[in-house]
Structure formats: structure tokens, C-alpha cells
Chains A and B, each alone.
Chain A
Amino acid sequence: MACVSFAKLNAASSQWIGGQQSFAQRPGPSTRLATRRVSVPIRAGAYTDELIQTAKAIASPGRGILAIDESNATCGKRLSSIGLDNTEPNRQAYRQLLLTTPGLGEYISGAILFEETLYQSTTDGKKFVDCLREQKIVPGIKVDKGLVPLPGSNNESWCQGLDGLSSRSAEYYKQGARFAKWRTVVSIPCGPSALAVKEAAWGLARYAAISQDNGLVPIVEPEILLDGDHPIERTLEVAEKVWAEVFYYLAENNVIFEGILLKPSMVTPGAEHKEKASPDTIAKYTLTMLRRRVPPAVPGIMFLSGGQSEVEATLNLNAMNQSPNPWHVSFSYARALQNTVLKTWQGRPESVEAAQKALLVRAKANSLAQLGKYSAEGESEEAKKGMFVKGYTY
């Protein structure tokens, strides 16, 4: 039987941790009855201590994840929306704009990259991973190989990418990545079928175990698509089912929960449902779901925005943080952080600084939302525009 070691939760930091509060500094009850720092017994694994530290660093108060792992094809859509060709230099220029934003590390704890980007550098020759490291932003890497049709299902998809995942993950770790991301989807208009839910959950569990084996904190993302005209109660039902499956298979695969992060969709009505739900309603349903399904050992829950407008995504996150939660509740946004940035940049070098400022505006807004202190006063009209696209393929 494998040996189990103790990991002190306040152990010596890995190189990614800076300014992390130790338990002793954490605000807590004023009367301390001779409490003791706790050691968490954990399953064996070469990277276990590091996984736990990395997950905690990403789940730090006031910070969240910038998701810029669009595949080349998807990045092409973003670039063409502002009249740019989908070339490597353009993709590099865009990511450089984002990753060299001064002060980004104050609000962003992790950045998810696409494989191409993990190996790119700035025009000055500085590796992107080094730019991130300096800002105390943990680099992450998208490791799935996209969605394909699931045979025998009701027109649903499944996520590919397990073949060779172990060696790819090891390579990414060498290059500087410390967390991974795998996005699968569940469609409510298509059922979802029990088959699709089971496959989604099992694929995530296998990916998570392989990631941890290779030193990468797995972000677990079963996106329940916004498409559909269903009410919020139906979304709650499906979300509870999906997360019950996910956690059970994660446990069966002996995944260490202190070393994972979740990336759920918020519990909202379908995009075509007649009534929109307020941020408070979304918060109530989403937190109910999380409290029923997520064990407290999981350090962080980083929501996806999935087609919500920039302001909606921030307001909803803010509503969820109005009282303390057993896990860090934060963001992992792509479109909801980048939309205004792209429109401000338009591909013009002279607009880079303004675009970077726009990124900071959104990052700071979401940082405040993570702390439950955000107010929507002064937000631009652009930021309020919805980004839902029916049948959107990522």
C-alpha cells in the first residue's frame, strides 16, 4: 500500500506563491481556544504538496482566472470580429497585449493558455510564461482536444483528449504550466441523456487523475450550456445530477480534492426562457447547488461566463459573495474579460495601452465581485451587451 505523507497547509511555498496569507494571518474568530494548525493527511503522489499549494494560490481572495485558451480557430473568430486575419503574429500580438498588462497580477491569479501560446514569447523575446511568473500569475494550459459527436446519444457531444495526455501534461509542466483545463459540455435541450452525463463526468475524472499525476492542478469544467428555454429549476436539477456524477467518479479515480478547482456554469434559466433571473436569484440557486454537491475540501470554484455580458457576469459573481462561502468563489472568464478589450484594440498598436486599461477595468470589477464589493455604477454600455450566441461552438 502506498505511503501517505502529511502536508502542512502552511508549508514552504512553491515558486508560484507570493504574498499568500498563511493560516496565522487569516482573519478568524477573536477568541482562539488554543487551536492548532492542521496537517492534512493525503494520498501519495509526487506532486501532492505542490498541487495543494498551487490550487490555494489560484483561489486567493480578490483574484480569479483570465481564460485566453481559445484554439486557433476560435481565436480567429475573435480577430475577424475586429477585422484582423487569423495569423500567428496577430494571435501573438493579441496575447502579448493581454499578458503584459501592468498590474494584472493584482486581480488575476491564473491564466489559461492554448498550446501555441505556452511556447510563445513577446516581441522582445521574453517567454510569456516568464511574464506571468513575474506577476505571480500561475500559467495554465488547455489539454482537451475538443468536442465531437457522441454516438448513440441525442445529438450530444463528448470531449476527446485522454490519449497521450500523460506525456503531454508532463511536457507542459516542463514548460511552466501548473494547472490544466478540460471543457466538456452538457445540453439541456438534448436531454441531457444519462449517457452524455456519464461520459462527461467520467472523462473529467480520468483527465483529473492524469493531470495530478503529472503535477498539474485540474480545473474540472462540465459546462451546462445556456441554450434552451428551460426555467431555472430545470437547470438546478441538471446541475445537481451532473455534479453528483462528477464527484463520484473523481472519488473513484482517487483524485485529491484539495488539489483541484471547479469551473461550473452558474445556475440560470435557459437563454430563450421568457423571464430573466436577477443576480440574487442566480446566486441563490447556484449556491444551493454548490452547497449540495461540493465538499469543502475543494479550495476554489471559478465560474465560467458562457455568453453572459461582462456586467452580468460580474454582478452575478458579486451576488454570490455577499456572505462567506466554504470555498473561494471566483471567476474564470474569457469573453466576459476580453470583449471590451478587443473592441478597444481593433488591432492598432497605438490602442494597446487603452486596451490594457480596459482589461484592468474588467479584472478589477471581477476582483471586487469576488470580495462581494462590486457596484455597477459607471459601467459602459458596451460592457452590458449580452454575448450569447445560439448553438455557439467554442
Chain B
Amino acid sequence: MSAFVGKYAEELIKNAKYIATPGKGILAADESTGTIGKRLAGINVENIESNRQALRELLFTSPNALSFLSGVILFEETLYQKTSDGKPFVEVLQENNVIPGIKVDKGTVEIAGTNGETTTQGFDSLGARCQQYYKAGARFAKWRAVLKIGPNEPSELSIQQNAEGLARYSIICQENGLVPIVEPEVLTDGPHDIKKCAAVTETVLAAVYKALNDHHVLLEGTLLKPNMVTPGSDSPKVSPQVIAEYTVAALRRTVPPAVPGIVFLSGGQSEEEATLNLNAMNKLDVLKPWTLSFSFGRALQQSTLKTWGGKKENVGKGQQAFLLRCKANSDATLGKYTGGSAGGLASESLFVKGYKY
């Protein structure tokens, strides 16, 4: 069979295209309970449900911020939460033309016989879960595969395993009305240079698209969430221009034009770095048949978290900080960002060695 065209095909294509609207991007707010606990701990806030709800309410009700977003990825708990006025978060997003998405993977586990490489869990009852999420209002999903660079890594086994996992997850989503975001993250950790990252990223993406094609995934109804191509964390930094050139070259070599949009992850980059790099990519004078946008977690929320600090009286200021980053990244998707929204907070690196998501 050619690409799978099930009952949701037109809707998938429409939603994927909408998420890829130039000038808009995705807020990744799908931190698991454990991970959001780390964020809250960083601002001395207790990891209880009401605090998790308060943070997400701050973000989703930020005046004007939603106009720069086409989608928000949620964790399961959040999909069913409401504002303090009793309005479901999903409705808040929908009323503002923001498509709710849902993280569907169940984390990574190590692959035995490798040097700490991982595969992603979450296939059991995935179809049934997707149906439930669709009923609850989700229209896209996210599944994160992780690869690392080392002397013998990523291994052929790890590449094949993660590519197959992404493909299987993708087709199950499409069967159930959710646009799959395909995320093969190549970690920044390591002393390697940008050329090594480029070579690995290209190899991984080639394997990913081969697997997607073999599984009959409808590419027009997917999005890609790759890492930017950068030097390793222990290697000297390079300019946004260089990152942009290597990243766009890698994508031009691997991503078919049928894919409507590429929404980058920020990894451990600071808020400002991530925005500058995205902006540089959109200014490049070379043909890019997909839109280049963002799907940022830490790089959209870091200053917001610090400004809020868990205090009700700081919600307004926290929301302003959030709006600032949303607008900056929106400008970056149009190649129009002129800098200057980097306060001290926005320039802080968010890299954590051996970061477990």
C-alpha cells in the first residue's frame, strides 16, 4: 500500500498544516509529574497537583500569548484539568485556536547490551489510549526517542530500534485521529564537534524516514521535532549562523517536502540561544519546503517560572515574561527577530549533563 489513508486523513493533513502556520509554534508543557517536580523544586514550590495546575493555568491564560501558539503539548493529568473558574484547559486552548496535544510515550529504558542507549516505551494499548485522548479533545501526539553520540554511538541497533518505534507510534496515532509529532532527539552531551552532530543527525533522520515510509505513515499528516545541529556540550560554541547552516543542510538532505512543518526542540539551550538559532534558520537564503518553527519546553518557560516563583501576586509578571518569549519565537519563525528580549534570565543555559527527561 502507498500511504495509509484512513478515515482521519483529511483532518490529519489539515491539523498538521495548521500547526505549521508561519508565525506560530508549540508550547511543550507535557512534563511528566516527576519532571515538573524538578522545575517546581528549582523555584522552591511543592510538587502537588494544585501547584501543577496553577503553573499551567498561568501559561494558558496569559493574555495574547496564545496568539503566537498553534499547539500545546500536555501531559495526561493536564488534559483533564480545569482553570480555577472551572473551565477545562482544553476548552481554553480551543477557544484561542490552539490545538491541544498529548504526550503518549511512557519514558525511555536502556537497551541491554549497549552502552547506555535507550528505547522508548508506550505501545501497550496505545491505540485505545489515543482514542480516549481524541475524545478528550487532543488532536496531536508526541513521542520522544533519544539517541546519544559516543565513540560507538549511536549504534545501528539503537538507530533501528528508535526509528521503528517512532514509525509504529506514528501509524497508530494516525489510525486514531492524532497527528504524530516525530521526535528523534540526538542529545547534545559530549565533546564532539558540529560536524559529528550533523553526520549523526542525518543518519538518524534517514533511518526515521525509511521506517515511516515502510509503515505507510502519511507524511502530510505528521510533524518532525528534531534537535538543532550544534557542537557537543563540551565543545566550543559556534554562532547561530553556523548552527542554522548545518541544521538546514541536514534537513534538506533528509526531510521530504510532504512534511508540512519542522518544530525544533530546544534541548539545553538558553531561551535566547534557541530563539536566535531559529531566527537564523529562517533567514537563510535557501529553499525550505517545510516551515521551521519551535516546540519548546524549557526555552519558553524558564524565565516565566523564575518570575512567578509560585506566588499568586507574581502571576501577571510571569505571564508577561511568557508573552515575551512567545512573541520572540514567533518573530524567529519569520526571520524577524531582532534580539533584545533577552533579560539575564533568558540567557541562562538550561543544559544539564546526562539530563533525564
Contacts and interface: CB of A to CB of B under 8 A. Distances in A.
A38 B210 contact: no
B324 interface: no
Interface stretch (B12-20, B90-98, B252-260): B252-260
A247 B257 contact: no
Contacts of B213: 240-241, 244, 292-293
Contacts of B199: 43
Interface range on chain A: under 10, 10 to 19, 20 to 34, or 35 or more? 35 or more
Find the residue from A37, A257, A288, A297 having the highest chain B CB count within 10 A. A297
B2 A240 contact: yes
Contact of B285 (A35, A236, A295): A35
Main SS class of interface, A: mixed
Given A36-B285, A40-B245, A297-B249, A237 B1 contact: yes
Contacts, number: 93
B248 A293 contact: no
Contacts of B241: 36
Main SS class of interface, B: helix
A295 B248 contact: no
Nearest to B290: A296
A379 interface: no
Nearest to A244: B213
A1 B195 CA distance: 10
Nearest to B244: A38
Contact of A33 (B253, B258, B286, B335): B335
B179 to A, nearest CB: 16
A319 B241 CA distance: 38
B256 A240 contact: no
Contacts of A236: 2
A248 B253 CA distance: 11
Nearest to B241: A36
Interface in B194-211: 195-196, 198-199, 202-203, 206-207, 209-210
Contact of B287 (A42, A233, A296): A296
Interface range on chain B: under 10, 10 to 19, 20 to 34, or 35 or more? 35 or more
Nearest to A248: B210
A85 to B, nearest CB: 47
A37 B285 contact: yes
Contacts of B1: 237
B283 A292 contact: no
Contact of A296 (B2, B214, B289): B289
A326 B284 contact: no
A248 B246 CA distance: 20
Contact of A35 (B196, B284, B289): B284
A291 interface: yes
Contact of B252 (A288, A293, A296): A296
Interface in A231-277: 233, 236-237, 240-241, 244, 247-248, 251-252, 257-258
10 contacts: A9-B286, A34-B283, A38-B245, A41-B195, A43-B199, A236-B2, A240-B2, A240-B3, A294-B256, A295-B253
Interface of A: 1, 4, 9, 23, 28, 33-43, 233, 236-237, 240-241, 244, 247-248, 251-252, 257-258, 288, 291-297, 326
